[in-house]
Amino acid sequence: MSTLATTGTGSAASPKTEQRRSGKNSLSVGRVIAWIFMALVMIVTILPFYWVLRTALSSNAGITSDPTSILPVDFNLRGFARVFGMQSTEEALADGGSGASMNFWIYLRNSVIVSTLVTAGQVFFSAMAAYSFARLRWRGRDAVFTLFLAALMVPSIFTLLPNFVLVKQIGLIDNLLGVALPTMFMTPFAVFFLRQFFMNIPRELEEAALLDGASKVRVFFQLILPMASAPISTLAIITYITAWNDYFWPLLVSYTDSSRVLTVAVAVFRSQAPTSGTDWSGLMAATLVAALPMLLLFMAAAKRIVNSIGFTGIK
């Protein structure tokens, strides 16, 4: 019914003016153009990841001789071997490597420790604060909450320099705890995110538990936390990914392998690559290895992450 009108007026001007929730499958010109555009967007999104994989599985000689081949040239895993330090220096140099390798397992361990510390601390402490702001009554609460609100607007660049000075003064430079510390207690966002959910839990439930003689601490642990497990795990996933991908702060505070996380390690690996005849195969293997943990996490929790994003922006 509406297909004709749409094709007639709207679609020539723009595909995005398509009929809103129109009949099951009205194949108008506009709809086809729109789908083509969407497909293009998805291809541009996905293809670069494939190209990284294809390069990582090729040899450097193969990349040079056949740069446009869709499939890996001279299929091998030596790029990965180089990243993991499983190749002898001579072999690595012969393959176009710099002789430097990544101590991948150490960086992976560091990334896991830092992200876990940040996530566990931030989510738990933020939940406590959110409960206090949402459900407990105490004088000065609104004023303190306003302070948290204001902190939301402090841009990170501004706190990074003084935070560095602070962490240096308490002797936590080049220490995993120092990498985790600034975001381990809370972020204003995490507090807001959880407060919003806690406020929506029906008060009657809490009051019933209190009538049964439970303390407020017990209500928090045994009622509020379990009831909010969905938003809490969503926040935990988002926090984990953010902590894992962070680069600037770890770059400032970590100097050696003992505290270097994966993002920084990849950047260092890149800066060690020779400027002439870059070891692209090795670099792309490193890139893939660094991206893989978060891509796997995303695959496992895509729906949860995707659906949480509206909340992030609008609330």
Among 231, 259, 263, 282, binds other proteins (CB under 8 A): 263
Among 31, 78, 195, 260, binds other proteins (CB under 8 A): 31
- Is there binding between residue 191 and other proteins (CB under 8 A)? yes
d(CA 286, CA 275): 17
Site track 234-253 with other proteins (rule: CB under 8 A), x = hit:
-------x--xxxxx--xx-
Decide: residue 313, CB within 10 A, 0-12 exposed, 13-18 middle, 19+ buried.
exposed
CB of 73 to other proteins, least distance (A): 12
Q: Is the dihedral of CA 263, 269, 274, 277 positive or negative?
A: negative
Query: In sequence order, which residues have a C-beta less than 8 Å from that of residue 200 and are 6 or more positions away?
Result: none
Question: Which residue type occupies 295?
Answer: L
- Is there binding between residue 218 and other proteins (CB under 8 A)? no
- Tell me the Ramachandran region of residue 125: left when phi exceeds 0, alpha when psi lies from -120 to 50, beta otherwise: alpha
Task: Give me the torsion for CA of 190, 196, 197, 198, rounded to 10°.
Answer: 100
Question: Which residue type occupies 268?
Answer: V
Question: Which residue type occupies 7?
Answer: T
CB of 96 to other proteins, least distance (A): 12
Among 85, 86, 125, 201, binds other proteins (CB under 8 A): 125
Count of chain residues binding other proteins (CB under 8 A)? 115
Q: Residue 88 or residue 199: which is nearer to other proteins going by CB?
A: 199
CB of 186 to other proteins, least distance (A): 4
Measure the N-to-C terminal CA separation of the chain; round to a whole number of Å: 38
Residues between 32 and 91 with contacts to other proteins, criterion CB under 8 A: 34-35, 37-38, 41-42, 44-46, 48-49, 51-52, 55, 63-64, 67-68
CB of 51 to other proteins, least distance (A): 6
- Tell me the Ramachandran region of residue 267: left when phi exceeds 0, alpha when psi lies from -120 to 50, beta otherwise: alpha
Q: Residue 201 or residue 294: which is nearer to other proteins going by CB?
A: 294
- Is there binding between residue 227 and other proteins (CB under 8 A)? no
CB of 83 to other proteins, least distance (A): 12
Among 165, 202, 203, 226, binds other proteins (CB under 8 A): 165
CB of 5 to other proteins, least distance (A): 7
* Tokens found for residue 101: 């390798």
